[in-house]
Amino acid sequence: MPVLDGLPINVAGLPLFNVSADGMLVHSPVDRSERATLVQVSRVGLETTIDPDWRFDPGGSLRWWSLSPDGRRVALVVMEADRGDVWLKDLPDGRFERLTRGGGNKRDPLWTEDGARVFFVSDSLGQRDIWSVAADGGEAKLEWEAQLPISQHVTTPDPRRRIVRSAPVERFGRDLFEIDMSGGQPPRELTATEANETAPALSPDGRLLAYVSDEAGADNVYVQPYPDADGALLRISAGGGWSPVWSKDGKELFYLAAPPEADARPVMMSARILSDPLAIDGRAALFTLRPGYHSASGATAFDVTADGDFLLIKQRRETSTVLVVNFYAELQRLVPN
Least confident interval from 26-35, 154-163, 232-241: 26-35
Does 269 have pLDDT greater than 70? yes
Rounded to whole angstroms, how far apart are CA atoms 294 and 305? Answer: 17
Q: Residue 205 in contact with residue 228, Cβ under 8 Å?
A: no
pLDDT at 104: 87
Highest mean pLDDT among 12-21, 200-209, 226-235 belongs to: 200-209
Residue 31: band (very low, low, confident or very high) from pLDDT cuts 50, 70, 90: low
Give yes or no for a contact between 160 and 180, defined as CB atoms under 8 angstroms apart: yes
Report the range of poorest mean pLDDT among 118-122, 305-309, 331-335: 331-335
Write the DSSP assignment of 275-334 as a string of letters.
ETTEEEEEEEEEEEPPTTB---TTS--EEE-TTS-EEEEEEEEE---EEESSHHHHHHHH
Question: What pLDDT is stored for residue 298 in this prediction?
Answer: 67
Q: What is the pTM of this model?
A: 0.82
Amino acid, single-letter form, for residue 30: V
Let me know how long the chain is.
337
Q: For the structural domain made of 35-319, what CATH number should be given?
A: 2.120.10.30
The answer to whether 234 and 223 have CB atoms below 8 angstroms apart is yes
* pLDDT, position 103: 85
* Averaged pLDDT for residues 200-216: 94
Residue 221 near residue 210 (C-beta atoms within 8 A): yes
Sketch the domain layout of the chain as residue ranges. Answer: 1-32+320-337, 35-319
- Which bin fits 22, alpha (ψ -120 to 50), beta or left (φ > 0)? alpha
Is the alpha carbon torsion for 116, 98, 71, 208 positive or negative? negative
Mean pLDDT of 252-279: 89
Amino acid making up residue 212: V
What is the average pLDDT value for the chain, to the nearest integer?
A: 87
Q: Taking the CA of residue 263 as centre, how many other CA atoms within 13 Å lie in the half-sphere pointing to its CB?
A: 0
CA distance 140 to 135: 10
| DSSP one-letter code for 135 | T
Is residue 273 exposed (0-12), middle (13-18) or buried (19+ Cβ within 10 Å)? Answer: buried
> H-helix or E-strand containing 155?
strand 150-155
